[in-house]
Amino acid sequence: MKQSVVLDLSKLPLHGLGTASLTWWGTLAFMLIEGTGFALSIVVYLYLMSLASHWPLNAPPPDLLPGTVLTMLLIASVIPNLLVARWASEQNLVKVRIGLIIMSLLGGAPLIIRIFEFPAMHLTWDQNAYGSIVWVMLGLHTTHIITDLIDTLVLTCLMFSGHGDNPRRYGDVSDNAMYWNFVVATWLPMYICLYWVPRL
């Protein structure tokens, strides 16, 4: 007599939050790959600095104001971002909507400051090796801010649509919040390299 073992999974939820979500793991893998890119850019920066007789090359140190203001804004944005992640785990639609609007504004604000940050470096991308790596680092981080801002805006629209109360969307909001924390965390060592290392 043949006996088949069957497990009834019909009562399991269709979507999960955090580690129970495949999207969470995909976002984590993406952050690991992108984090490697950030680390490589810092290594290249330090390598070029080690070869130079003086650093920065043919340029004064960058002005501190734009980069410091941007850094403070990014750090401050972590608090509402953590709240959005908590509200998503609670599946509180009203608070998530408010939080996403706030994070959309906080995601766009660094791009305005970044417009002033490039000239504050006192060089162009093709001036020398120093200029090239500085612009690569700023450009790389700017790309990630734009990426997360677009994702946040899309999620904001979804949460105000008929898809808003779908449990899967709360997982997406939570993953987006995790990614913003990554964007903030990766900027801190880059800020030190770009603004303080040339002053050593």
The predicted pLDDT at position 13 comes to 63
Long-range pairs, 34-43, Cβ under 8 A, ≥24: 34/144, 34/182, 34/186, 35/182, 35/186, 37/140, 38/140, 38/141, 38/186, 38/189, 38/190, 41/133, 41/136, 41/137, 41/140, 41/190, 42/137, 42/189, 42/190, 42/193
The predicted pLDDT at position 9 comes to 61
pTM of the model: 0.87
**DSSP for residue 20:** G
Residue stretches of the chain with pLDDT short of 70: 1, 5, 9-10, 12-16
How far out from the chain centre does Cα 107 lie?
9
Q: 19-199 has which fold? A: Four Helix Bundle (Hemerythrin (Met), subunit A) (1.20.120)
The predicted pLDDT at position 24 comes to 83
What is the rounded distance in angstroms from the CA atom of residue 72 to the CA atom of residue 74? 5
Q: Which amino acid is at 176?
A: N
Q: Which amino acid is at 56?
A: P
The predicted pLDDT at position 59 comes to 87
Do the beta carbons of residue 140 and residue 181 sit within 8 Å? no
